[in-house]
Chain A
Amino acid sequence: MRVTVRVVGGEAKDVEIVGAGRKVKDVIRDLGLLTEEYIVMRGSRVLTDEDEVYDGDELVLVPVVSGG
């Protein structure tokens, strides 16, 4: 399945996720990122790291780390 991920302050990326039942934390880790450092949203809804992702999902990653 394919999931589109956009990091706030960065670019959007299409990510190929292999296998069913994959979770938000898997997407973040597949991107080489840390779950500690992002809040993940689907539309206006905040997801937990354990929520499942589905084919065609558009996820927005809000950085937790302040840049200053």
Chain B
Amino acid sequence: MVNCVVCGRRAVYIERSSGYAYCERHFLKLFSRRVKRTIRKYGLFREREDIVVAVSGGKDSLALLHFLLKLSKKVRGWRVRALLIDEGISGYREVTKKDFIKFAEEWGVEYRIASFKEEVGLSLDEMVEEGRRRGLPYLPCTYCGVFRRYLLNKVAREMGATVLATAHNLDDVIQTYVMNVIVNNLDKLSRLGPKTGVVKHPKFVPKVKPFYEVLEKEVALYAVLNNIYPSFTECPYARLGVRWTIREMINKLEEKHSGIKHLTLRSLLRIISLIGGSQEGEGGPATCRLCGEPSAHEVCRACQLKMGLGLIRP
């Protein structure tokens, strides 16, 4: 039996970077302290905030919603709601959507569900099929990522959100960092900070990542210990993406050399500070001439993809 470094009780977690073990109570305290420190250090929320949490129904986003709901009981000026984007991935999203609705009803959370089908015109499965029919490259994760970000910003704004919180954890962030370095997308690194949206665009909802400095395993353990670990389902497209391989590679490295993940995050933060901080939002400072949403280009990525799929005309 391994004992908690604080109280000597049976441990449930050993932090690899420090070698310290923690019991359930002290792990949850440590987790909470870390997330609150991230919120304070990077000024993620103000005293009065209308927070919309981007949820998928998976463990990370339910854990974040759970954490912020509990914290909001102590902060009078906070309102916490949720937004789920239903991409339309058969055999996957309907399961996680059910898990989310069950959680939302138990906790009495106000929420909205926006679907690709209704908002964009096609479900993700239909986009993949239409792309294949038109001879376009097979890019399900690109459609998913671009339209999801597009809708999160648009619908959160319609809901009156002052900030959109996403459940990206340390693992997610460093995977994206490594992916962007590999494909020479260095300009995108500035968006990988804990807070984006310094850009002054009236239609841009600032985005924050309260789990920025906690590991994916720590978030999963938080979910398990709070009995909010949902059904395990896997996106049928997940293993096709580069991210899957990068994640495995980083996890193998961490297994051999404890602390690699935290070091990589420090490397990212240093680079962000060198290239001028997270000045840009996801969309950038311009406005798409077709849909009027924030965009880094004259026509935003969502409209470019819609044109490719024949959903709109140039």
Contacts and interface: CB of A to CB of B under 8 A. Distances in A.
Nearest to B258: A36
Interface residues of A, number: 23
B13 interface: yes
Interface stretch (B68-76, B106-114, B246-254, B294-302): B246-254
B125 to A, nearest CB: 14
Contacts of B221: 39, 46
Contacts of A51: 1-2
B60 A66 contact: yes
A68 B252 contact: no
Given A36-B254, A48-B21, A49-B14, A64 B56 contact: no
B102 interface: no
Given A64-B216, A67-B233, A68-B235, A36 B13 contact: no
B220 A39 contact: yes
Interface residues of B, number: 33
B147 to A, nearest CB: 14
A65 B247 contact: yes
Contact of A39 (B24, B58, B217): B217
Nearest to A51: B2
A34 interface: yes
A8 interface: yes
Contact of A48 (B13, B247, B251): B13
Contact of B232 (A8, A35, A36, A45): A8
A9 B56 contact: no
A50 interface: yes
B234 A67 contact: yes
Contacts of B255: 34-36
Nearest to B261: A36
A50 to B, nearest CB: 5
Interface in B208-254: 216-217, 220-221, 224-225, 229, 232-235, 238, 247-248, 251-252, 254
B12 interface: yes
Contact of B252 (A34, A45, A52): A34
Nearest to B89: A68
B42 interface: no
Contact of B234 (A48, A52, A68): A68
Contacts of A50: 2, 14, 21
Contacts of A63: 220, 232
A65 B251 CA distance: 10
Contacts of B248: 34
Contacts of B24: 46
A12 B235 CA distance: 22
B92 interface: yes
Contacts of B252: 34
B51 interface: no
A2 B92 CA distance: 34
A35 B217 CA distance: 10
A4 B1 CA distance: 20
Nearest to A67: B234
A41 to B, nearest CB: 8
Given A36-B251, A48-B21, A68-B56, 7 more contacts: A45-B10, A49-B14, A51-B2, A63-B220, A64-B217, A68-B58, A68-B238
Interface of A: 8-9, 34-37, 39, 41, 45-52, 62-68
